[in-house]
Amino acid sequence: METPVLELVREFVKEARVPPSNEEEDLFLQGLMDDFQSSSAMFRRDLRRRLEKDPEAFLCSACRILKVNSEGPGAACVMEQLWSNPVLVGSLVDPVLLPLSTAIAFGKRWQPFDPLIDIKLLHKGFPSEDGSVQDIDIIRAKRALAIVNELPANRHILLPLVNLLCSSDDRVRSKAAAIYGRTCQNADWVHKWMNQSDPRVRANVIESLWGVDSDAIRAVLKEAARDRHHRVAVNALIGLHLSGAADATASLQKMAGGSDPMARAAAAFAMGRILKEEFKPVLETLLRDANANVRGRALASLIRLRRQLEAANPAASSEPPGPEESTPQPEETPPDAVGTPVSSESQAG
C-alpha cells in the first residue's frame, strides 16, 4: 500500500464520526490485529470475511480502534483492506460519518489514486441503473452529486449522468446538468438546456460555463444574460466577466437599481464574486435597501471587496468595519428560485 494512500486513510479515521463502541465487533477486530505477527495469512482471510459480512460495522469498529493506535503491521493491513473495499467510498456520502465539506476534501485528495471515484460515488448515491430517485436515500444521493461536482471534470462521467438528467427531482436534475455542462463544455448542448422551464437547471448549466472562453460559449452567455430569471442572468454575467466581456459591469449595476428585490440581491452576490472597486458605492447603497436579503448580500460582498482591496494595498488606511459586519451571510450561491437560503448539507443537490 502506497504511503500517501496509507496517510489518507489514517486521516479519514481521525475525522470519521463513528457511533459508540460495539464491544463484540471491536474485541474481535482488536484480537485479529494483536495476532497479526504470528498468523498473517489467517489474519487476512478472517479480516476479509468479517469485512464482507458487514462492511459498515467493520468500518466503524476499525475507526474506533485505529483512532487510538494506527501504527504497526496489523493496523496497516486493516487500512489496506478498507481502501480496497467499496465501503470507504460509500462513507463519503454518509452525512453521519463526515461533514460535506470534509467529504469533498477527501474526495479531491483521493481522486489521483482512484480515477474512477466519481463513477463510484454516483453508483453509491444512485444504485439503480436508471438513476431513479425512488426508494433511495435522497440525502446520500445529493451528497454524491455535490462531491462529484467538486472533482476534476472527466468525460467518463457523462454516460452515468445521462439518466440523472431526466430525474423527477429538480435538484438532482439541476446538479446533474451542471456537472454534465462543466464536463462537456458544448455550447449547443447548453443552448438546448436553456429551454428548460426550471430556472435552477438553467442557472446551473450556465454556471458550468464559468471560465470557458470561446465565441460559441460567449454567445450563449450573452443570450442567457437576458433570461427572465435573476439567477440565470447573474450567472451569465459572471461568466461573461470571466471571459473578458466589458459590458457585464454595467449590466450588474443596472440590475442593482431595479425594482425586483431578488434581482438586486442577485446583483449584489455577483458583485461579490467579480470584486471590482467600482462596485463599492453600489454595494454601500444596497446596504440601505428596504429588503433584508438585499442588505445581507450587499454586506457579504462589500466585506469581500474591502478585504481584497486591503490585501492589494495593505498600506492604505481603510475605515474599520461597522458592528453589523461581524456576521455576513455565508451563502455562496445567488438567491434561488424561491429566494430562501438553505444549509450546505441541503444544497448538495
Are 82 and 101 members of one domain? Answer: no
Are 48 and 18 members of one domain? Answer: yes
> Last residue of a domain, which of 90, 119, 142?
90
pLDDT at 156: 93
pLDDT at 344: 37
Q: 180, 152 in Cβ contact below 8 A?
A: no
Q: 182, 206 in Cβ contact below 8 A?
A: no
Enter the pTM of the model: 0.76
Q: How far apart are CA 268 and CA 282, in angstroms?
A: 9
pLDDT at 301: 95
Task: For residue 282, tell me if it sits in a domain.
Answer: yes
Q: 28, 51 in Cβ contact below 8 A?
A: no
pLDDT at 325: 47
pLDDT less than 50: residues of the chain? 317, 320-331, 337-349
Task: For residue 8, tell me if it sits in a domain.
Answer: yes
Task: For residue 261, tell me if it sits in a domain.
Answer: yes
pLDDT at 39: 65
The DSSP output letter for 341 is: -
Number of domains in the chain: 3
> Last residue of a domain, which of 184, 201, 232?
184
Are 143 and 161 members of one domain? Answer: yes
Are 238 and 267 members of one domain? Answer: yes
Are 99 and 170 members of one domain? Answer: yes
Retrieve residue 38's grid coordinates: 504470528
pLDDT at 343: 35
Task: For residue 194, tell me if it sits in a domain.
Answer: no
Task: For residue 283, tell me if it sits in a domain.
Answer: yes
Are 116 and 79 members of one domain? Answer: no
Task: For residue 202, tell me if it sits in a domain.
Answer: no
pLDDT at 328: 44
Are 305 and 228 members of one domain? Answer: yes
Task: For residue 208, tell me if it sits in a domain.
Answer: no
> Last residue of a domain, which of 165, 184, 203?
184
pLDDT at 163: 87
Are 243 and 168 members of one domain? Answer: no
Burial 175-213 (b: 16+ CB within 10 A, else e): bbbbbbbbbbbebeebbebbeeebbbbbbbbbbbbbebe
Are 333 and 248 members of one domain? Answer: yes
Are 109 and 75 members of one domain? Answer: no
Q: How far apart are CA 253 and CA 285, in angstroms?
A: 11
Are 85 and 146 members of one domain? Answer: no
Are 40 and 114 members of one domain? Answer: no
pLDDT at 72: 86
Task: For residue 192, tell me if it sits in a domain.
Answer: no
Counted residue by residue, the chain has a size of 349
Place of cell 467579480: 274
Domain range for 145 is 95-184
pLDDT at 347: 38
